[in-house]
Amino acid sequence: MADIKKVFGQHLRKYRLRKGYSQEKLAELIGLGSKSISPIECGHRFLAIDKLEKLCEILEVEPFQLFLTNEQSREIADDLQRERVLSRLNTCNRQELKLLCDILTQFLGR
């Protein structure tokens, strides 16, 4: 099992960088000391629940996203892709479905 604090820290860093925040700026927005993000990202410390809620609001992520292992993240991304494909397929008419089936057969060889 993965070290949950390390997994959390890795995701925190990833989402922080996506938003373009420095560690100091994120700490300020959450209401923490300027040096508090680094030990969290390194997996040495953790956040209080009220700070976690604020963090998720600022980074625009759901809390569970910060706790997923890379494999779990890939599985969820795959599931979302499948849902998008199925949603698009549900809007296709018969002719479009036949064309897509022919394309998939050629592409996948099945």
**Residue 44 in tokens:** 């040495």
Listed residue (33, 73, 69, 30) closest to 52, CA to CA: 30
Structure-model confidence comparison of residues 41 and 108, the more confident one = 41
Structure-model confidence comparison of residues 3 and 109, the more confident one = 3
Does position 1 have pLDDT exceeding 60, yes or no?
A: no
Res 2: pLDDT: 62
Average pLDDT of the segment spanning 9-20 = 94
**Residue 48 in tokens:** 């209080």
Crossing angle between the packed helical segments 49-59 and 23-30, to the nearest 10 degrees: 120
Q: What is the pLDDT of residues 21-44, one digit of tens each?
A: 999 999 999 999 999 999 999 999
Q: What is the pLDDT of residues 61-102, one digit of tens each?
A: 999 889 887 777 778 767 778 888 899 999 999 999 999 999
Res 76: pLDDT: 72
Res 19: pLDDT: 95
Res 25: pLDDT: 97
